Amino acid sequence: MRYVTLGLFLSFAWVLSGCFSSSEKENSVTIFPTSGTGDVVDGEAVEYDRGASFTGGDGSILVDTDKPVTLTLFTPDPFHLNHSRIVYKARLKTEGLTGEGEERGIAYLELRALYAGGEEVVSRGPRIPPSGTSDWVPAETDLYLDTGPEPEKVTLALGVEGHGKVWIDDVVLESRPLRIDYLFWGSAVVWIALIIYIYHLFTKQKSLRRELESIRTGA
């Protein structure tokens, strides 16, 4: 019986490893263009700066503002984003970014998922946002979209709390499937092994009782 149990646990490990490798294959990365403002949702509120680029390519998007703003840059297709962890990544650069009063003088990414009925979930990052004057810094924020209704809309925005200049470049959205299903099936294998083991103990106990009864009766 111990070989059966060992085989089941090896099968469990094989199933998990297969699921994890398959989940890696399902990861997706969407790259958004920053070589112009034509694809930017709030395109009239931003500028294209050909001379500033993190990637050394075709420029970046510039926000030059004298007040706090949150500008929607892109709205990726929400189809197939449910039941996944989505990660909004970009590079930010600032110049003379300061705040007044309670404003912190920072720039940040905002990731928002909107659902039917007006429900929404929002995530902002990075944990330490750039401020003042800074060179290109990495920034990211993420959301975990569970197995409920699929979001009707997902938005990638740039927030500025204060006034000054902020550049954004190298904008991507990564989608990484959640592994709840894989863990569920892995747990199912463990439960099957446990049930078989309990059944084995039960039948072994019955066999032992019969042997003891035979000894007592002299049969």
| Per-residue confidence (pLDDT) for residue 23, from 0 to 100 | 44
- Residue 33, helix vs strand vs coil: coil
- Residue 108, helix vs strand vs coil: strand
> Which fold is adopted by the domain 33-178?
Jelly Rolls (2.60.120)
Contact call for residues 110 and 141 (beta carbons, < 8 A): yes
| Per-residue confidence (pLDDT) for residue 111, from 0 to 100 | 98
Specify the amino acid at residue 125.
G
| Tens digit of each residue's pLDDT (9 = 90 or more) over 22-36 | 444 478 999 999 999
Is the pLDDT at 19 greater than 60? The verdict is no
Non-local (6+) Cβ contacts of 119 within 8 A are none
- Give the integer Cα–Cα distance in Å for 145 and 168: 25
- Give the integer Cα–Cα distance in Å for 185 and 128: 38
Residue with the larger pLDDT of the pair 37 and 219: 37
Helix 180-217 to helix 2-26 angle, to the nearest 10 degrees?
A: 170
Residue keyed to tokens 């469990």: 12
Counts of helices then strands in the chain (DSSP H, E): 2, 10
- Give the integer Cα–Cα distance in Å for 145 and 148: 8
Is the pLDDT at 175 greater than 70? The verdict is yes
**Mean pLDDT computed over every residue of the chain:** 85
| Per-residue confidence (pLDDT) for residue 146, from 0 to 100 | 81
What percent of the chain lies above the pLDDT cut of 90? 59
- Give the integer Cα–Cα distance in Å for 46 and 69: 11
| Tens digit of each residue's pLDDT (9 = 90 or more) over 106-157 | 999 999 999 998 899 999 999 999 999 999 999 999 999 986 788 999 999 9
- Residue 60, helix vs strand vs coil: strand
Average pLDDT over residues 67-83: 93
- Please tell me the pTM assigned to this model: 0.72
Average pLDDT over residues 30-52: 96
| Per-residue confidence (pLDDT) for residue 20, from 0 to 100 | 47
